Chain A
């Protein structure tokens, strides 16, 4: 069982990763990070429920609750930033923001 859940978590994480690296729309990129979060949360819960050794504990679910809270807070901030960035450039393209480079 554990392997299937971890596989699911890994797939979610890698999908999010690929999406973040390949897409240029800021909102899509942001959503991809959320997807990576979900992959981690699935892994945590699975590891709590089916630990490799010993009895199942609630630790994984506690972590998951915290992570969801953190992800929610991050979402609020990140969306605000995205809105601001959009107002500056009237574009959601990440390519519009390339100031962080060596000339």
Chain B
């Protein structure tokens, strides 16, 4: 982590001295990530990703990290004969698999509701597609909130808005934590420059979260050649069982 931070700081200094202003003169906003690939390896227990950048003049910055969208079924438990069982469920055709926001000031001070809705900034402004509810809007609202809090419970949606820290007037940085259960795929890191209550400029940077090495090979093998994987799993177990018996007999 220290290594990454140091490297990022060097880049920041670089942006600050010379190279930065020249670019910033054309683009009101430049930003980049400390790394574009989060590798899930054998020892993976979560990762921190650092975003840094510069603006061409004073302004506020909001950063949104979104995981790839996926369909989700939400189950609700109810009591049946004294036993807790899933009694209702709702299908959402797409919901981001990960979501986090950071801002340099509280969101409500920065920009109006319509802008937040348009750019899907903040959990309450997320577009979550669900089948038209036959029930009232109230019920649909409750399912929506439940979907968000279930993701929060799993640490996949961050319930608090993180901090975008400014160094001086124009350099900023923000840090995100990806938990160990983070879904794989192509993430989008959106950076918004906000002035006078509106989004003035935006930039999107991709972030890839991917299994690497043995982990990836085992996973791909299990999914692409399932039958062979099953046979190998059995063969390994047969051998291990025989080995255990043989070793024990000698001892």
Q: Report whether chain A binds chain B.
A: no
Q: Residues of B with Cβ closer than 8 Å to A?
A: none
